[in-house]
Chain A
Amino acid sequence: MTRPEDVLVQRLGETVLEQVRFRDDLTLIVPREQMLRALEIARSTGFRLLTDLTAVDRHPAQPRFDVIYMLTSVEQHARIRFMVHLAAEQTMPSATSLWPGANWLEREVFDLFGIRFDGHPDLRRILMPDDWEGHPLRKDYPLVEEPVEFKGHTPKVPSQIIPKSKPKPL
């Protein structure tokens, strides 16, 4: 039996730049310009549920952002993940024309990462206050402790108690 993911990969053909398989999760890396078409093909192949849309900040690596789309086929019980590499100043095409549910998800990515979506009907902040400065989930946005009023104590960010160890790439 061919799996729905394999059918999709076949239908996408040249659009897929790279396939990453890790712990049974399949990620398809697609160029930015082809993303909407790839999503449309995926939707017509049965991946009708946009489970999630999010981003990862790879700062200081380049290209800086990865935008991630997770799709689910509710009938065939299959999942697929799309990834787009995005430079810091680039924008993404909005998926709201395909899924109205992408509206809030894209607003959240804009709010927390500062990635703009072209063609989004209402791209405003959603979780942070409207007048907030900066995008909190960016890696260069610091997490700091609030100052205290009393003497003899230097606030320490709880996250510094156990220092980060060196990354070990694959």
Chain B
Amino acid sequence: MKETLVLNMGPQHPATHGVLRLVLELEGEVILNLEPVIGYLHTGFEKEMETRTYHQNIVFPPRIEYLATFIEEQAYVLAVEKLLGITAPKRAEVIRLILAELSRIASHLVYLGTAAIDLNVTSLLMYCFRDREEILDIFEMVSGQRMMHGYFRIGGLQWDLPQGFAERVQRFLDDFPRRLDEYETLLTDNLIWRKRTEGVAVLSAEDAIRYGCTGPVLRGSGVSYDVRKAFPYGGYADYEFDVPVGSNGDAFDRYRVRMDEMRQSRRIILQALRRLPEGPILVDDRKVALPPRRELVRSMEAVIHQFKLVSEGIHPPAGEVYASVESPRGEKGYYLVSDGSNRPVRVRVRSASFNNLQALPVMLSRGTVADVVVAIASIDIVLGDVDR
């Protein structure tokens, strides 16, 4: 019998992108067995969300997945809106969409930078974070916060866009393709990068489906499934964009898919900026949204509505809904169960990272230790999202 070595990687390890522990069984350099051990970041979000009102819960989603914060908020408010049977006004919808796509770019930039630094391309991390910083500045300008915004409301938005928003986004987008091309020349034409990612961490389309993978992991394997196209939400049906797919299902294809997705996101935002309509940013439903401030001094009814909404909250009808969005990591869904009271009975967060991480042992079967780092980076997990 050959001797094997059990190697513990993590939970604190710079290449695991968070607190993830891997137990590897090795024969020399070759991985015989790999078991991800998770739960180090489990904070009980689902339980917490059961004990608060629908409005209070808006603070949790961006904390679950902290790289694509607006997409998280969008997922949650869309689920509650589906439960209530309402839709946000057109202007709010378009603003949400712009911010969500900016979040996608910001998140993919973090992927790019960290995946590159895992293979010792150190300069790219700084470039990517510089660009991400611009996006976070835009977020701060809109919501007052760089990350945990709490800007989306059930039925709309907290307030309207600040002056100069469109110009600032436009300026960022004008410069962005040039920078993206620059990063691509650093990696796509880089011999080391190609040798370390091509044919590494391969996942077949069949396995990707069997393990419930979504997002760039599934699309990298050649399955064209994007929630924005398959089950259009939040106005995506009106926009022109392509769904990039890979063919080999390796780390390199996932990288290509994400690079192309950033270009598609830019395309969507440009269309959205052009058609950003005027109008209200919050539904005119006093049982859902707070009355405007100016009404409070004149109308007793408005004061009562304000009081009821703040002290009790929204009462959706009894029922169960599932609403999902395409996050940078895949399908992010919220399954809400309501009993007609002001608190949800159950909030289930369907996280893409959880399922994608489960396929890691398949990607790495008979792989080498050095490929572990590449594989983890290529599925782009957020441990907060895995453990919730």
Contact = CB atoms under 8 A, between A and B. Distances in A.
B343 A52 contact: no
Nearest to A122: B35
Interface string B202-226: 0000000111111000100001010
Contact of A170 (B39, B218, B315, B319): B319
Contact of A127 (B38, B52, B218): B38
Contact of A25 (B213, B322, B355, B388): B322
Contacts of B48: 143, 159
Contact of B333 (A51, A74, A158): A51
A25 B323 CA distance: 9
A103 interface: yes
A143 B315 CA distance: 22
Interface stretch (B11-19, B23-31, B334-342): B334-342
Given A79-B231, A81-B322, A158-B52, A74 B350 contact: no
A128 B42 contact: yes
Contact of B358 (A25, A77, A101): A101
B231 A77 contact: yes
B301 interface: no
Contacts of B52: 158-159, 162
B317 interface: yes
B201 to A, nearest CB: 17
Contacts of B320: 22, 25, 27
A25 B387 CA distance: 27
Interface residues of B, number: 55
A35 B132 CA distance: 46
Contact of A54 (B85, B231, B312, B335): B335
Contact of A162 (B53, B223, B339): B53
A121 interface: no
B91 to A, nearest CB: 24
A167 B340 CA distance: 5
B151 interface: no
Interface string B352-382: 0011001100000000000000000000000
Given A23-B83, A25-B320, A56-B346, A136 B44 contact: yes
A167 B319 CA distance: 12
Interface residues of A, number: 48
A23 B321 contact: yes
Contacts of A81: 322
A50 interface: yes
State the 8 A-B residue pairs at the shortest beta-carbon distance, nearest first: A168-B340, A159-B51, A101-B212, A167-B339, A101-B211, A74-B225, A127-B39, A127-B42
Interface of A: 22-23, 25, 27, 48-52, 54, 56-58, 68, 70, 72, 74, 77, 79, 81, 99-101, 103-105, 108, 112, 125-129, 136-137, 141, 143, 157-159, 162, 164-170
30 contacts: A23-B83, A23-B85, A25-B321, A51-B214, A51-B331, A52-B322, A54-B335, A57-B346, A74-B225, A74-B230, A77-B230, A81-B322, A101-B355, A101-B358, A104-B355, A105-B355, A128-B39, A136-B44, A137-B47, A141-B47, A159-B48, A159-B51, A159-B52, A162-B311, A165-B313, A165-B343, A167-B340, A168-B315, A168-B340, A170-B340
Given A70-B350, A74-B223, 18 more contacts: A23-B83, A52-B350, A54-B348, A56-B346, A68-B335, A70-B335, A79-B231, A99-B212, A101-B210, A101-B355, A105-B355, A129-B39, A162-B56, A166-B341, A167-B318, A167-B341, A168-B340, A170-B318
